Amino acid sequence: MAVTDTLVGQDTIVLNGRTLSNLGFGTVVDISIPSALVEIESGKDGSAIYAMNQAGRQAEVKVRVLVGTPDDVFLNNLNERFKANFAGSELINASFVKRTGDGHGNITTTTWVLSGGVPGTVPADKWDVNGNTEQALMEYSFKFSRAERQLS
Protein backbone atom coordinates (compact mmCIF):
# COMPACT_ATOMS: atom_id res chain seq x y z
CA MET A 1 0.00 0.00 0.00
CA ALA A 2 1.43 3.37 -1.04
CA VAL A 3 1.71 6.11 1.55
CA THR A 4 0.59 9.56 0.48
CA ASP A 5 1.62 12.63 2.39
CA THR A 6 -0.10 15.99 1.94
CA LEU A 7 1.21 19.30 3.23
CA VAL A 8 -1.19 22.26 3.16
CA GLY A 9 -0.76 25.93 3.83
CA GLN A 10 -0.31 29.38 2.34
CA ASP A 11 -3.91 29.65 1.17
CA THR A 12 -5.03 32.88 -0.50
CA ILE A 13 -8.57 34.26 -0.30
CA VAL A 14 -9.54 37.16 -2.58
CA LEU A 15 -12.97 38.83 -2.82
CA ASN A 16 -13.47 41.70 -5.26
CA GLY A 17 -9.73 42.21 -5.50
CA ARG A 18 -9.13 42.32 -1.74
CA THR A 19 -6.93 39.65 -0.19
CA LEU A 20 -8.47 38.69 3.15
CA SER A 21 -6.01 38.27 6.00
CA ASN A 22 -8.05 38.76 9.20
CA LEU A 23 -9.30 35.19 9.24
CA GLY A 24 -10.69 33.31 12.20
CA PHE A 25 -9.82 29.81 13.38
CA GLY A 26 -11.02 26.41 12.27
CA THR A 27 -12.82 26.40 8.95
CA VAL A 28 -12.35 29.91 7.56
CA VAL A 29 -13.69 29.20 4.05
CA ASP A 30 -16.35 26.66 3.15
CA ILE A 31 -17.22 26.22 -0.54
CA SER A 32 -20.19 24.02 -1.36
CA ILE A 33 -21.98 23.15 -4.58
CA PRO A 34 -25.65 22.71 -3.60
CA SER A 35 -27.02 21.31 -6.88
CA ALA A 36 -26.12 18.35 -9.06
CA LEU A 37 -24.37 19.12 -12.36
CA VAL A 38 -26.38 16.49 -14.25
CA GLU A 39 -29.91 15.18 -13.72
CA ILE A 40 -31.04 11.74 -14.89
CA GLU A 41 -34.53 10.39 -15.53
CA SER A 42 -34.94 6.68 -16.19
CA GLY A 43 -37.72 5.21 -18.31
CA LYS A 44 -39.70 2.03 -17.85
CA ASP A 45 -37.69 0.12 -20.44
CA GLY A 46 -34.35 1.10 -18.90
CA SER A 47 -33.72 4.03 -21.19
CA ALA A 48 -32.29 7.16 -19.59
CA ILE A 49 -32.39 10.88 -20.26
CA TYR A 50 -29.45 12.98 -19.14
CA ALA A 51 -29.76 16.74 -18.81
CA MET A 52 -27.16 19.29 -17.83
CA ASN A 53 -28.35 21.21 -14.77
CA GLN A 54 -26.95 24.72 -14.99
CA ALA A 55 -27.65 25.23 -11.29
CA GLY A 56 -24.89 22.67 -10.73
CA ARG A 57 -22.38 25.40 -11.65
CA GLN A 58 -23.44 27.52 -8.68
CA ALA A 59 -21.53 27.70 -5.41
CA GLU A 60 -22.27 28.82 -1.90
CA VAL A 61 -19.38 30.18 0.13
CA LYS A 62 -18.99 30.96 3.82
CA VAL A 63 -16.07 33.07 5.03
CA ARG A 64 -15.21 33.55 8.71
CA VAL A 65 -13.23 36.63 9.71
CA LEU A 66 -12.37 38.21 13.04
CA VAL A 67 -14.98 40.69 14.30
CA GLY A 68 -14.11 44.38 13.98
CA THR A 69 -11.11 43.88 11.70
CA PRO A 70 -10.62 45.68 8.36
CA ASP A 71 -11.85 42.52 6.56
CA ASP A 72 -15.03 42.50 8.68
CA VAL A 73 -15.63 46.16 7.79
CA PHE A 74 -14.97 45.45 4.08
CA LEU A 75 -17.36 42.48 3.93
CA ASN A 76 -20.04 44.28 5.93
CA ASN A 77 -19.83 47.29 3.58
CA LEU A 78 -20.08 44.94 0.59
CA ASN A 79 -23.32 43.49 1.99
CA GLU A 80 -24.70 46.93 2.83
CA ARG A 81 -24.06 48.22 -0.71
CA PHE A 82 -26.21 45.39 -2.09
CA LYS A 83 -29.00 46.23 0.34
CA ALA A 84 -28.85 49.96 -0.44
CA ASN A 85 -28.85 49.66 -4.25
CA PHE A 86 -29.37 46.07 -5.37
CA ALA A 87 -30.03 46.80 -9.06
CA GLY A 88 -26.99 49.09 -9.22
CA SER A 89 -24.64 46.67 -7.45
CA GLU A 90 -21.57 45.14 -9.05
CA LEU A 91 -21.51 41.35 -8.80
CA ILE A 92 -18.79 39.82 -6.63
CA ASN A 93 -15.81 37.90 -7.99
CA ALA A 94 -13.66 35.69 -5.81
CA SER A 95 -10.76 33.28 -5.94
CA PHE A 96 -9.63 30.80 -3.35
CA VAL A 97 -6.17 29.30 -3.84
CA LYS A 98 -4.85 26.31 -1.89
CA ARG A 99 -1.32 24.98 -2.27
CA THR A 100 -0.65 21.36 -1.37
CA GLY A 101 2.72 19.64 -1.28
CA ASP A 102 3.49 15.95 -1.48
CA GLY A 103 6.49 15.97 0.86
CA HIS A 104 8.88 15.55 -2.08
CA GLY A 105 8.93 19.21 -3.17
CA ASN A 106 6.06 18.92 -5.63
CA ILE A 107 3.19 21.39 -5.26
CA THR A 108 -0.32 21.24 -6.65
CA THR A 109 -2.34 24.44 -6.68
CA THR A 110 -6.12 24.22 -6.42
CA THR A 111 -7.87 27.42 -7.45
CA TRP A 112 -11.58 28.08 -7.18
CA VAL A 113 -12.63 30.89 -9.50
CA LEU A 114 -16.08 32.23 -8.66
CA SER A 115 -18.07 34.92 -10.44
CA GLY A 116 -21.54 36.39 -10.46
CA GLY A 117 -21.62 36.62 -6.68
CA VAL A 118 -24.13 38.19 -4.31
CA PRO A 119 -24.49 38.18 -0.52
CA GLY A 120 -26.28 35.15 0.90
CA THR A 121 -27.79 35.21 4.35
CA VAL A 122 -27.15 38.23 6.57
CA PRO A 123 -24.42 37.50 9.15
CA ALA A 124 -25.59 36.58 12.63
CA ASP A 125 -23.87 37.64 15.82
CA LYS A 126 -23.47 36.37 19.37
CA TRP A 127 -22.45 37.57 22.81
CA ASP A 128 -21.30 35.06 25.39
CA VAL A 129 -20.06 35.77 28.92
CA ASN A 130 -18.72 32.22 29.38
CA GLY A 131 -15.61 32.51 27.21
CA ASN A 132 -16.99 31.19 23.92
CA THR A 133 -14.33 32.14 21.33
CA GLU A 134 -16.87 31.89 18.48
CA GLN A 135 -18.15 35.34 19.49
CA ALA A 136 -14.94 36.81 18.03
CA LEU A 137 -15.91 35.60 14.53
CA MET A 138 -18.25 36.94 11.88
CA GLU A 139 -19.43 34.54 9.19
CA TYR A 140 -20.36 35.96 5.80
CA SER A 141 -22.25 33.98 3.20
CA PHE A 142 -22.19 34.46 -0.57
CA LYS A 143 -23.82 32.80 -3.58
CA PHE A 144 -22.06 32.63 -6.95
CA SER A 145 -23.65 31.80 -10.29
CA ARG A 146 -20.45 30.27 -11.66
CA ALA A 147 -17.78 28.22 -9.91
CA GLU A 148 -14.83 26.53 -11.52
CA ARG A 149 -12.20 24.38 -9.79
CA GLN A 150 -8.80 24.42 -11.50
CA LEU A 151 -5.77 22.26 -10.69
CA SER A 152 -2.24 23.09 -11.75
pLDDT in tens, 39-48: 999 998 899 9
- How many CB atoms within 10 Å of residue 28? 18
Half-sphere exposure of 11 (CA within 13 A, CB side): 18
Per-chain mean pLDDT for the chain: 94
Closest to 142 (Cα-Cα) out of 53, 14, 8: 14
**Does some domain include residue 79?**
yes
Residue 69 has pLDDT above 90, yes or no: yes
Per the model's pLDDT, the better-predicted residue between 133 and 59 turns out to be 59
Half-sphere exposure of 72 (CA within 13 A, CB side): 16
**Does some domain include residue 43?**
no
Contact 21, 53 (CB under 8 A): no
- C-alpha pair distances (Å), 5 with each of 45, 63, 103, 152: 47, 27, 6, 18
- C-alpha pair distances (Å), 33 with each of 57, 79, 130: 7, 21, 35
pLDDT band at 1 (very low <50, low <70, confident <90, very high): low
Range of the domain at 94: 7-36+50-151
**Does some domain include residue 1?**
no
Would you state the pLDDT for residue 129? 86
Distance CA 12, CA 27 (A): 14
pTM for this prediction = 0.89
Distance CA 109, CA 75 (A): 26
pLDDT above 90 as % of the chain:
78
**Does some domain include residue 123?**
yes
**For the chain, where are the E strands, in sequence order?**
7-15, 18-19, 29-32, 38-42, 48-52, 59-66, 92-101, 107-119, 137-151
Q: What is the pLDDT of residues 6-37, one digit of tens each?
A: 988 889 999 999 999 999 899 999 999 999 99
**Does some domain include residue 103?**
yes
**Does some domain include residue 41?**
no
**Does some domain include residue 125?**
yes
Residue 142 has pLDDT above 90, yes or no: yes
**Does some domain include residue 16?**
yes
Domains: count for the chain: 1
Would you state the pLDDT for residue 127? 86
